[in-house]
Amino acid sequence: MEKDQSKIIREQAPRSATREHSVPLYLTSSFIFDSAEQGRAIFAEEEEGMVYSRYANPNTTEFINKVCILEEAEAGLAFASGMAAVFASFAGFIRQGDHIVSSRAIFGSTHQLFTQLFPRWGVTHTYVDAVDNEAWEKAIQPNTKIVFLESPSNPGLELADLEFLAGLKAKYPDIIFAIDNCFATPYLQKPLTYGFDLSIHSATKYMDGQGRVLGGVIVGKQHLIDQLLFFIRHTGPAMSPFNAWVLSKSLDTLSLRMDRHCSNALALAEALEGHPEIADVKYPFLPSHPQYALAKKQMRAGGGIVTFEVKGGKERAYRFLDALRMILYTSNLGDARTIATHPASTTHSKLSEEERLHLGIRPGSVRLSVGIEDKEDIIGDILQALEESK
């Protein structure tokens, strides 16, 4: 039986009459019907067929199929960005009066959905600490529609116990259990195999891997994807065929890149642990991580993100970031090039100081998306910047 790597490399849109080796770009807004009867049958859903690229396109279909193979999902949908996918995973299901349970440690824009946008529609939420198993069930209310989490979290790298939450899903089958699996990617972690309903990704990150295009994807159970299909057809957050083409090609090398990201990240975390200018290092596959055993159980490797705190607070962190020579300073992650981010002033700046501290985001915290350069160069740049910023 072919393994995932072999399957996705061979998964592609049907070849045209020109017998192309590489899948072409289908840069078309709509598709031609062979007859009036075929047009009627396709719109009546009696016959399958492409209609409009807002609904489906050969390039986006190929990309979705590859993610479904990796995640062992029944079906999926592609979106213009990761946040479009996150938003749809809620907006496609919630109604006025519904309630959401979410891990507290989530991406800043997702936090804004819960605190600024959804309250306008009469939708409430309860945050829980992902590591506290007992808190999850206590937070569930009679009107809870969705349980949502990130694992590992951004940027604190906290893990939720997927097996425990899958047991909770079995106890509450009518609640949708959804996970943002972006940090782990389907190569390192497969939440759907535990029993989760939906797995969500910002394809902009590791799925692209080179900082070129935006994209998002949701994969999961067929009946939920069918419900979401109605939502996206009439709201229009469609992925462009070009972006889908780029992302589909990138998935062919996802496993190779993630192996390098992870080995480099572990080497960096080990090099920084105990460094006199570093207050704390977080990485799931470091034995010092409080959930090391859980990480080893549910992840193939520790991922490409290392979070550490530079001694000296915000001013020292700024000097450190400005002293980097090779490593880039941006808010993105998942790139082939190593990227540094200061979460407190960028990605999580909209949170209150109290909220940031609760998530372990301190003024001196730095999130490093470790690239696939030679590990000696990455470590060397970090060490010289620590010395330069004293």
- In angstroms, the CA 194 to CA 164 distance is 9
Q: Bridge partners of 117?
A: none
Instruction: Identify whether the C-beta of residue 384 lies closer than 8 Å to the C-beta of residue 323.
Output: yes
Count how many residues are written for the chain: 390
Nearest to 200 by CA among 329, 109, 330: 109
Q: How far is CA 199 from CA 94, 129, 185, 221, 307, in A?
A: 17, 20, 10, 10, 24
Give residue-wise pLDDT tens across range 57-109.
999 999 999 999 999 999 999 999 999 999 999 999 999 999 999 999 998 89
For 351, the token pair is: 């949170």
Residue type, 299: M
What pLDDT does residue 9 have?
84
pLDDT band at residue 8, thresholds of 50, 70 and 90?
confident
Instruction: Identify whether the C-beta of residue 97 lies closer than 8 Å to the C-beta of residue 337.
Output: no
What pLDDT does residue 355 have?
84
pLDDT of 261 strictly over 70:
yes
pLDDT of 378 strictly over 80:
yes
Other CB atoms within 10 Å distance of the CB of residue 27? 12
What pLDDT does residue 15 have?
86
- In angstroms, the CA 269 to CA 284 distance is 10
What pLDDT does residue 375 have?
98
- In angstroms, the CA 244 to CA 238 distance is 10
- pLDDT (mean) for 20-48: 94
Domains along the chain? 4-251 (3.40.640.10), 254-388 (3.90.1150.10)
What pLDDT does residue 101 have?
98
What pLDDT does residue 359 have?
82
What pLDDT does residue 16 have?
83
pLDDT of 374 strictly over 50:
yes
Q: Bridge partners of 147?
A: 101, 177
The four Cα atoms 11, 15, 18, 21 give a dihedral, to 10 degrees, of 10
- In angstroms, the CA 54 to CA 30 distance is 9
What pLDDT does residue 1 have?
44
Per the listing, tokens 């949170």 go with 351
Give residue-wise pLDDT tens across range 132-157.
999 999 999 999 999 999 999 999 99
Give residue-wise pLDDT tens across range 114-126.
999 999 999 999 9
pLDDT top residue among 209 and 3: 209
- pLDDT (mean) for 216-229: 97
CB-based burial label for 219 (10 Å; 0-12, 13-18, 19+):
buried
pLDDT of 3 strictly over 80:
no
Cα torsion 136, 161, 67, 220: sign: negative
What pLDDT does residue 2 have?
56
For 82, the token pair is: 């990761």
For 346, the token pair is: 């960028």
Q: For all residues of the chain together, what is the average pLDDT?
A: 95
